[in-house]
Structure 1
Amino acid sequence: MKILHIANFGFNKQGAHFYCTDRKLSAGLIENGHFVYDFSFRDMARMGTVFKTKKLGASWANREILKIVDNIEPELVLIGHSDLMNPNVLKQIKQQYPQTKIAFWYVDPLYLEHKLGFVHDFSPYLDAIFCTTGGASLAKLKQPHLRVAYMPNVGHANVEQLKQFEASTTEQEFIFCGVVYKEPEREKFLSDLADTLKKYQIQHQYYSCFNQPCAYGKGYLNVLSRARMGLNYSRKNDITLYSSDRIVQLTGNGLLTFSPKIPGFEKLYSAQEIVYFDDQVDLAEKIRFYTEHPAEAKRIAEAGWHKTRSAFNAKRISRFMLEIIMNQPLSEDYEWSHEVY
């Protein structure tokens, strides 16, 4: 197929976010044999006005999409986030090219309902919606004319290239990369954990929080390459199947990954592939245990690395998405196929 992929590819970030979902999905679609034309909506919107502001240039970017559709006539228009798109653009595509499928993917948590207005505006013209949240929040998006499905966070072997489970020595036993968001509960959890690890004399480092430096692009991979273990910890950890893409960045680079017990997540990663914990105290004790038992840590980290490589790679996830969009039988029993509505 010819696929127009409209997302926020971040050209203005100069490659600092090269590991984000949009580029991985485009790569997976190409690996499945399709032609993909990438359109970075926010960057094009900035180009649409002398003031270089995306809101002022959004109208121009929307018109550009219609020109591209006329030139390419894609079988599929795939949209990732792009909240500044005008739903009338999708309406016009459906009117002019009724055979063209339109689908949407979304990797922010669905509990942030104030951010979902544009999804509801798009929905009359969509054939499918994919989200990294499952359960009731996902099912609420279902409408008679469109399918909704869970999608896991996307990994790619050419992006997550490390094998940290093979490292003989590391500078840090444990790291966390993430923002505190001025949320007291999250801040206390991370602060108390750091205090406990310091008491246990475990080498650890935080990034992007508590006035510690941020890490992006090559710098982020360098951070991962100096660590043995990492924490997958989202803003909320009680949302069915939801995790930030940190889960594939850690496991996919071979770090032993610790995660809270996210509802349903054991269907994706077993307790032999990542380490689940109950609370800060439990987490600290498990970090200490695996620091003292490196062979056990290596075994689980390697299993998690293999799971991300085999189950959550871009080619496999994008193939699942296409099967849903085209209403085809699923080619295999995907671990998350029970989350299709």
Structure 2
Amino acid sequence: GPQEAAVEIDGCFACAVVTRARVASGALSAVNSTSVITFNVTSPLAPGTHNVSVGLALAMPFTALASFQIQVYDASSPAVISFHPSAGTRTAGARVAVQLGSFPLAGSASDIVATVGSLVASVAGASVSGSVTTVMLELPPSPWAGSSRVTLAASPASDRFASFDFVYAEECDYAGFCASVPGGLVPDPLAVSRMPPSVECDPSACVAASTLASPALVHQSVLSGPRAGGTLVDLFVSDLPASGPEGVLVLFGTAIAQVDALTVSASGIAQISVRSPPGEGTVAGSVTPLLGKAAAAFGFAYDRAPSGAATATSSATSCAVGTNATVVLTLSNWGTFPGVAHTVTVG
């Protein structure tokens, strides 16, 4: 019963009175039983966090059997009761659920204004249950690591706001983490590229260096193009540790190519769509993932340039009016432009 339980708040027994205590489950077991205890706070508590301990009323000295914290807020102004998670990766941002007290939500969730330092956070949703408002925030990536103050207001016109500190952390440094594993492992770039950003390191991404597969060219859609560049080339590469166009560097010789898109199929083959830069002759190309050191090689031939002015000779120079004639044109120094249509104008 309630007379058997005692609650103290910050060491104060007179600050709380147990009104109900019962065994919810496992009444015959002293180890796996679950009890529900209801108590009232009888003394004013200052806004902030307070430590609560629960124990047996007749035990002397008092021994805490369970401890937790409660958050007390001023009903006259908004206050953050809880938020989760409290930290996330700097480069990915985070979705954070925030519970607030005295946060009047007169309009919709879209009216809520949320900022992270000088950055704007988006509100994914909000709900009200009694005096508690729950807001789901989408925090943006941060250009720096460390603690940032998140501030919420119920509307742009509101001068009442609540705030909390969110910690942006750097992602796991797999190079250092894997090197510290017994055996001197190395990160698998392909595995790391497919993992969501996380502060925690996943040991499964660490492998022996001898087991790493290098990226390799599977197929190339176009082998040649004009010297002016701009040819769309699709490169299909296996074992490429990249999931987006920003994760690779494509070179035609020493010239950097524009990467339009990069997609990865279910079989793990990456399709990279690039535009050839201007160039001459036959060049050796490479696809280098920014997460790895090995590169996939390919070749590309720029169309041969004419050695002089283009000239043309004809097998016939005239024909009778109203008749057809077969004329063979012999072109010199025309250059080679595969796939490019040419027009001959008569008259």
Scaled to the shorter chain, the TM-score interval is under 0.3
| TM-score w.r.t. length of structure 2 | 0.22
| TM-score w.r.t. length of structure 1 | 0.23
Which structure has the higher relative contact order (CA within 8 Å, separation 6+)? 1
Instruction: Report which of the two has the higher share of helix.
Output: 1
Instruction: Report which of the two has the higher share of strand.
Output: 2
Structure ID, larger Rg: 2
